[in-house]
Amino acid sequence: MAISEGKVAEPLYVIRYSDEKALGASIGRIIKEFETEKVVVGVSEGEMGEESKNFGQSLSQKLQIPVETFDETLSTHDAQRVSVEAGINRKKRKSMEDAYAAAIMLQGYLDAV
């Protein structure tokens, strides 16, 4: 998960979940905590992309918040490369990899709008 106040995205943290309902509840708490105005869901190609789109639509309906989707292709690869270049140790890279990838995807979205 990543967050932005303005035009710069930053990694927040990784949400571990057991099912989609638990994930939705966690995201709902974060939306309230950070007074979020919009959620951007990263989508990849194929079946996972369709699942992500469906999740975003469901989230929008349940939480009454605008949800947009944005291509997350190669965000994990880019996050790995950037974190290695930044000298982040291996343990922290692995634990925060998805948050870094989310920040890269969100920054791409912010740059495009």
Q: pLDDT class for 108, splitting at 50, 70, 90?
A: very high
CA atoms of 78 and 62, how far apart (whole Å): 32
- For residue 11, the surrounding DSSP H or E stretch is strand 9-11
Q: Is a pLDDT exceeding 90 seen at residue 107?
A: yes
Task: Give residue-wise pLDDT tens across range 43-93.
Answer: 988 888 888 899 999 999 999 999 999 988 877 778 788 888 888 878 877
pTM score, two decimals? 0.83
**Which tens digits make up the pLDDT trace of 11-37?**
998 888 888 888 888 999 999 999 999
Structural tokens at position 33: 């905590």
**End-to-end Cα distance, the chain:** 19
Any idea which residue has 């343990």 for tokens? 91
Helix, strand, coil share (%) of the chain residues, nearest 5: 60, 15, 25
SS3 per-residue string spanning 18-70: CCHHHHHHHHHHHHHHCCCCCEEEEECCHHHHHHHHHHHHHHHHHHCCCEEEE
Q: What is the pLDDT of residue 76?
A: 76
The domains located in the chain, with CATH, are 2-112 (3.30.420.140)
